[in-house]
Structure 1
Amino acid sequence: MSKRKHRDVPQEKDFTGGMINSASCSYVGTTGEKALDEKISALAKEIDNSEGFCLLAELMTTAVRISRGAVSQGDFKMMNRALKEMRISSEVFNPYSHIKKVGIFGSARTKPEEVEYITTVKFAERMREEGFMTITGAGPGIMAAGNEGAGRENSFGLNISLPFESSANPFIAGDEKLIDYNYFFTRKLSFVKEADAAVAMPGGFGTMDEIFEAMTLIQTGKAVIYPLVLLDAKGGTYWKFWNQFIEEHLMRLNLISESDFALFKVTDDIEEAVSEIVNFYRNFHSYRFVGDKLVVRLQDAIDPDAFDNLATEFADIVKSGTMQQRGALPEEENEVEMAEMPRIVLRHGRGDMGRLRQFIDAINVATIV
């Protein structure tokens, strides 16, 4: 019987799964004035007397360079506002870092009486029952349905300021978890960074943009893998025809790999969509890269015989050396909450993320200790 004692341990939201940062200040850069660099370093250390002061010094140095460089006033304002929006987003999401979240995309034009709206409400209700919070774009249509099904307490709204559609839906309006954005790119960053899964209902250009953004970042290894579900109402064909286009054009022309189809799931069944997301975290917890090593954290250790079979079946994803099941690496000592988690460690070439998704699926069905 699985203990699942690590299920609620939050993952540090480095959504890139990137390398462990060095404590060195060698990457801070310079303003061009040695005396000013020293003042910035001293002030950063005074404000943040930890290893993190180097990052603060780098940020302050960058700000000075922007103010003194070949940057227009308009660009300066954009950079400042973008950083401010990112800061606000992190502050809003931080208290809920221990709770998994699902992002829901879809058309703002869908009416409450339409089957896609009703399906979204039911799906969000089921995800709430499974312990997930819901993130939507805070607008009408499918977004409103997601917030309605999840309920205000379990909802986030990422509202974009548009001249024709700027007010939040009544299910999230006025809530402290509603965030207003001026830029689509900072809003999309929050969607990808904060979600542990994404579900797309039928929608227009915005829905296509959001789902392809997430898929591209995952396929290229720029964002960690998580479940992407393309959900139709029962009997719907929107995503079936979308998948047909992917098969007949992208795949037929060798523009994508066959394993890329493992990165998403098309279904018109709510329970199948819920299962796709929940089972992704059955034993798999998270992963990140430490140098050239991929470290996959597990809820429970895998039975030695089952692990040997897993290592054999997925030997192709190992760039060099062998796959090992072990404890935390010394470089992970700063992640105290995850110290006791069992790991699978291997050298991975950061290619074919679809195959890595298949590896995670295999982990979730392997016999545990």
Structure 2
Amino acid sequence: MIDPARGTSAPPESIKHKRADDPIILAALDGLLAQVGANVDSSDGRYVKDLLVNALKLIPDGRDTGELKLITGAVKELRYAYRVFGQYPEPHKITIFGSARTPKDHPDYALAVEFSRLMGERGWMSITGAGGGIMEAGLAGPGREKSFGVGIRLPFEQTANQVIAGDSKMMVFRYFFTRKLMFISQAEAVALFPGGFGTMDEAFETLTLIQTGKAAMLPIVMLQGKGVTYWNQFDQFIREGLLARGWISEEDLSLYKLCETAEEAAEHIDRFYRIYHSSRYIKDDLIIRLKNRLRDADVADLNKRFAKLIKPDGLQMHIRGPFDVEDDHRDLPRLVFTHTRYAYGKIRQLIDAINACEPA
């Protein structure tokens, strides 16, 4: 609660000690950063410095041991995981969710092996929870060399499956929230197979992050073995339990796709990246990087069909080169417009429309 007298929610700091943002402390941090090779004037250097300053602020904040342990553990887990994934920047990666309890003779298991094998043959690497069931199947298809294991420490769960155990791409997390961050932040597609509470949690969190614009747009496919109706029941609930009550929008149904076969799911993912490459925001301007330039007539058509997405006083959709602040993929053309920052399901439909165009 904010103290009206001080206008801050932080406890009073002792006058016996310097503040974490004291010029003397900041200068000392600059010296430490320089000693480990950081450019203190770069944006990266400033971010690390800010991390250190906020770590020091935990002391006068009076955080207890449990809170300090959580914050420290989370930062350690994220740093290590980013370091592992950072060694494989180029290959596309797909996260595969599903039950750890699926037996090997179940049709879901066989389909997960087939699907992950197809994705591996198309150059993709798989990311799963590293346990048994669907997680093991999702790594068995592409094999150890094209697999990442993102495990969790649980007292009742088995250790890593035989595909990924002992591999340098096997990571074990203490916290679910850091683990799930890696699942989504490192993936360019998500495949969902039937599962329990954990799978439902991962499915809804992925959908929520994309629906609200908190995660990059990516294709989500739902697969089930022959004779299984798991995702049909899920889709029915979404339509009758959520859409019919007005709790989601019609375009939100575009955020996921039920696929009958492994081949259909793989083709759906490939098509998502037919022309679309990636996207980012600069303030409210949405920059969509394209593998191929679009024809002027198609851009005009997209402006009409997706006018709902364009802020009334903002930029209309147009093709241009990279912005000065962009430092990646500068060779690719951009489709740029000022986004209203809502109706993200409609953004998914826009990407489908872009991929349906013929390159200029």
Q: Give the superposition deviation at 1:162.
A: 0.7
TM-score (structure 1 length as normaliser): 0.89
**Contact 1:326 1:345 (8 Å CA) reproduced:** yes
**Contact 2:119 2:125 (8 Å CA) reproduced:** yes
The answer for the alignment partner of 1:321 in structure 2 is 315
The answer for the alignment partner of 1:48 in structure 2 is 38
The alignment status of 1:215 with 2:204, answered yes or no, reads no
The answer for the alignment partner of 1:355 in structure 2 is 346
Q: Give the superposition deviation at 1:99.
A: 0.8
**Contact 2:284 2:341 (8 Å CA) reproduced:** no
Q: Give the superposition deviation at 1:45.
A: 4.5
**Contact 1:45 1:53 (8 Å CA) reproduced:** no
What amino acid is the match of 1:41? D
Distance 1:134 1:273 in 2: 14
Q: Give the superposition deviation at 1:37.
A: 2.4
The answer for the alignment partner of 1:33 in structure 2 is 22
What amino acid is the match of 2:231? W
Distance 1:356 1:200 in 2: 21
The alignment status of 1:103 with 2:95, answered yes or no, reads yes
Q: Give the superposition deviation at 1:63.
A: 1.1
**Contact 2:299 2:317 (8 Å CA) reproduced:** no
TM-score (structure 2 length as normaliser): 0.91
Which residue of 289, 292, 297 corresponds with 1:300?
Answer: 292
Q: Give the superposition deviation at 1:149.
A: 0.7
Q: Give the superposition deviation at 1:41.
A: 3.2
Q: Give the superposition deviation at 1:173.
A: 0.4
Q: Give the superposition deviation at 1:168.
A: 0.1
Q: 5+ residue gaps in structure 2?
A: 1-18
Distance 2:262 2:50 in 1: 46
Distance 1:166 1:67 in 2: 38
Residue-by-residue CA offset, 1:75-94 (whole Å, 9 max, x unaligned): 11111111000001101101
Distance 1:322 1:307 in 2: 10
Q: 5+ residue gaps in structure 1?
A: 1-29
The answer for the alignment partner of 2:85 in structure 1 is 93
Alignment of 1:202-281 (within 5 A): 202-281=194-273
Q: Give the superposition deviation at 1:32.
A: 4.9
What amino acid is the match of 1:183? Y
The answer for the alignment partner of 2:126 in structure 1 is 134
The answer for the alignment partner of 2:359 in structure 1 is 368
Q: Which of structure 1's runs of 4+ aligned residues deviate more than 3 A? A: none
CA RMSD of aligned residues (A): 1.3
Distance 1:292 1:32 in 2: 31
What amino acid is the match of 1:48? A
Distance 2:142 2:60 in 1: 47
Q: Taking every aligned residue pair, what percent have the same amino acid on both sides?
A: 42
Which residue of 143, 156, 159 corresponds with 1:167?
Answer: 159
Q: Give the superposition deviation at 1:44.
A: 2.8
Q: Give the superposition deviation at 1:357.
A: 0.4
Which has the larger Rg? 2
Residue-by-residue CA offset, 1:164-207 (whole Å, 9 max, x unaligned): 11410001101110001011111000000001100110000000
What amino acid is the match of 2:26? D
Residue-by-residue CA offset, 1:56-98 (whole Å, 9 max, x unaligned): 1101101111233221111111111110000011011012111
The answer for the alignment partner of 2:8 in structure 1 is none
